[in-house]
Chains A and B, each alone.
Chain A
Amino acid sequence: MGTNEKRDVRGFLEFVYEFYKSMKEHEITLVYEGEITHQITKAFTSLTESNMAKEEESNMVQKKVFHVMVECLQNISKHADDYGANDYLFSGRGIFMVSKGKDEYSVTTGNAIEHTRMPELKRMLEQVNSLDKDELTELYKKQIKEGRLSDKGGAGLGFIDIKRKTGRNLEYHFLPINDNSSFFLLTSTISRNA
Chain B
Amino acid sequence: MEVFKIMGTDDTPAVTLDAANNIFEISGRSLPEDVNAFYKPIISWIDKYNMAPNAKTIFNFKLVYFNTASSKMLLDVLMKLEDLFKAGKDITVRWQYPDDDEDMKEAGEEYADIVDVPFEQIAIS
A residues touching B (Cβ–Cβ < 8 Å)?
38, 41-42, 46, 59-60, 63-64, 66-67, 70-71, 74, 137, 140-141, 144-145, 147-148, 151, 153-154, 157-158, 160-161, 164-165
**Given known contacts A141-B114, A145-B114, what 9 new A-B pairs fall within 8 Å (CB)?**
A41-B31, A59-B100, A63-B103, A64-B103, A140-B110, A144-B72, A148-B72, A154-B68, A154-B69
Residues of B in contact, count (CB < 8 Å): 22
Q: Is the CB of A71 within 8 A of B100?
A: no
Q: Is B76 part of the contact surface with A, judged by Cβ < 8 Å?
A: yes
A158 to B31, CA, bound (A): 13
Least Cβ–Cβ distance between A154 and chain B, in angstroms:
8
Chain A residues with CB under 8 Å of B33's CB are: 38
5 contacts across the A-B interface (CB closer than 8 A): A67-B65, A71-B67, A145-B114, A151-B36, A154-B68
Closest-by-CB residue of A relative to B67 is: A70
* Other-chain residue from B31, B72, B110 in contact with A153 (beta carbon distance below 8 A): B72
Q: Is the CB of B65 within 8 A of A137?
A: no
Chain A residues with CB under 8 Å of B102's CB are: 60
Closest-by-CB residue of A relative to B64 is: A63
Q: Is the CB of B72 within 8 A of A147?
A: yes
- 0/1 interface trace, chain B 21-48, chain A, CB 8 Å (1 if under): 0000000000101001000000000000
Least Cβ–Cβ distance between B33 and chain A, in angstroms:
4
Q: Is the CB of B100 within 8 A of A46?
A: no
Q: Is the CB of B71 within 8 A of A74?
A: no
* Other-chain residue from B65, B76, B106 in contact with A66 (beta carbon distance below 8 A): B65
Chain A residues with CB under 8 Å of B11's CB are: 38, 42
Q: Is the CB of B31 within 8 A of A70?
A: yes
Least Cβ–Cβ distance between A134 and chain B, in angstroms:
11
Q: Is B3 part of the contact surface with A, judged by Cβ < 8 Å?
A: no
Q: Is B2 part of the contact surface with A, judged by Cβ < 8 Å?
A: no
A71 to B67, CA, bound (A): 7
Least Cβ–Cβ distance between B72 and chain A, in angstroms:
5
Q: Is the CB of A71 within 8 A of B68?
A: yes
Closest-by-CB residue of A relative to B31 is: A70
Least Cβ–Cβ distance between B80 and chain A, in angstroms:
12
Q: Is the CB of B69 within 8 A of A148?
A: no
A32 to B10, CA, bound (A): 22
